[in-house]
Each structure stands twice: as structure tokens, then as C-alpha cells.
Amino acid sequence: MAEAVAQASPGEAAQALCRARRDGRRVMSSMLPLQDRRTAYAIQDATLAALGAVGGWKVGASAPGRELVCAPLPAEGLVPGGASLVGSAWHLRGVEAELAFRLGADLPPRATPYTRDEVADAIASVLPVIEVAETRLVDWLDASPSALLADLLCHGGLVLGEPAPFERAWLDLSQLEVVMHFDGQVVAHTVGEHTHPDVGALLVWLANQGAARGQGLRAGQVVTTGSCTGMLFASQGTAVRVQVKGLAPLRASF
């Protein structure tokens, strides 16, 4: 059921989005005060202030050359490999195989922009992840990019795979091979199909964007860098398996 409200302030919009997470009463995107991207990010920040700790970030672009965007991820939504994602919170079940990086050092706010070397030096490990897309918006298919941005870029949860030591070669995904299975059947097999294969550039942008928002990035946080497979929709009961070449397989179920 949708929650019908007049256009709200960023704080009120965040409260409505948080209620939608709790009780499924989704909202119309028209109630979000979206004068610009800055307002969408303000709604993100207010949402995370209500939900609790930031466990990580997502960063990416919808297509090569498009504007980069990011969203903080609630720590409560990061779950280990093998997780079973069941219940009323999982209605969309959009599944994406992604590559993520866990930070081993803080990248706090500062006036001087971070360099690629500084960001790479802060990374401790690389890991496969499954991002599960969910939305708090009734009209998400027709919503503006800013509305989706305010809704944490349709983030529902992140299933974390087994980490491996970070090497700088992982910052270039132009040849990365990824296979996704649903119930034992291959539903995606891609090589180098990430929308922004220079993920090193994504991470540098995020470090500096996070600094501009006064938050920074912290050791232990996981940064996921966008889909390698596109989004596929899983039915209730589906068993998902993701294999990123060079890393351990990752599983989840619905």
C-alpha cells in the first residue's frame, strides 16, 4: 500500500522512506523535494541518520560517460554469504553481481582531494557481492534519477562474499568474467561488461564526494562498484550463485 503525502522536507521525506522500509507503505516519488541532486543527497543523509551506522557505500554510473552517483548503505543490510533473504521486505528481488572493496584505513574529510594512490593504499581486500535492489517508491519505474538517488539508489541489501587480498589489478574490470546462476541455471555470463570498468576512478570520486559531504570513508566499510551482470529478478525461493573469476563463489537465497 502506498503512503500518500504532500511534498515533504528532506527530513520528512527520509522519515517516510524509513517507514516504507519498516512496514512496506511505499511512497510516490512526487512527494520527494527534489530541486537538485544536492537535495537527494540530503535525503540520503537524513535516512542514514535514522537507520543507524553506515556499513558501506555504493558508487557507479548507469552507463559509460554518465554522471557518477553514490549512496551510503545501512550496516544492518550487509549480510554474509549464504544468507536467506525472506520476508515481506523482499518484494522486488533485483539481483546484481558486483565487485566490492573493503577499506583498511580511514579516508576522512579534508580540503585536498585524494589521489588514486592514496585511495588504493587504503583498500584492504576485494570481495564479490550480490546487491539486492529494492525500492520504497511506488512509481520507481517512472521515477526521476534524483528520486532513485534519494531512495539510496534502490538499495535493499548486500550479500558479502569471501574477501581476498587487494591487488591494484582489481581496479580495472575491463576483462572481468562473472557468471550468475539461478537454481543451477546460468542466467548471466559476462566478460568486461561493467558500465565503468575503471573502478579506481569510481573509488577516488567517492572518497572526494564523501569528504565534500563531511562524512569521509572509514576503515571496515565496504564499497560496491556497480553491476557486472545487469539486474535480474529472482522469484521467491530462488537460489543464487555468483562466480567472479579469481574469487570464491558466493551464494544467497530468497
The Cα 219–Cα 240 span in angstroms is 29
Are 120 and 168 in contact, with CB atoms under 8 Å apart?
yes
With respect to residue 241, please indicate whether it lies within any of the assigned structural domains: yes
pLDDT digit string (tens) for the chain, length 254 residues = 455 445 678 888 999 999 998 887 888 998 888 878 889 999 999 999 999 899 999 999 877 778 899 999 999 999 999 999 998 889 899 999 999 999 999 999 998 999 999 999 999 999 999 999 999 999 999 999 999 999 999 999 999 999 999 999 999 999 999 999 999 999 999 999 998 999 999 999 999 987 677 789 999 999 999 999 999 999 999 999 999 999 999 999 99
With respect to residue 36, please indicate whether it lies within any of the assigned structural domains: no
Q: Domain limits at 103?
A: 53-253
Count of domains for the chain: 1
Largest CA distance in the chain: 50
Phi and psi (nearest 5°) for 239?
Answer: -100, 125
Beta bridge partners of 129: 98, 160
DSSP state of 68: P
Are 124 and 103 in contact, with CB atoms under 8 Å apart?
yes
CATH number of residue 125's parent domain: 3.90.850.10
The Cα 179–Cα 27 span in angstroms is 35
With respect to residue 170, please indicate whether it lies within any of the assigned structural domains: yes
Closest CA to 250 of 137, 105, 129: 129
With respect to residue 86, please indicate whether it lies within any of the assigned structural domains: yes
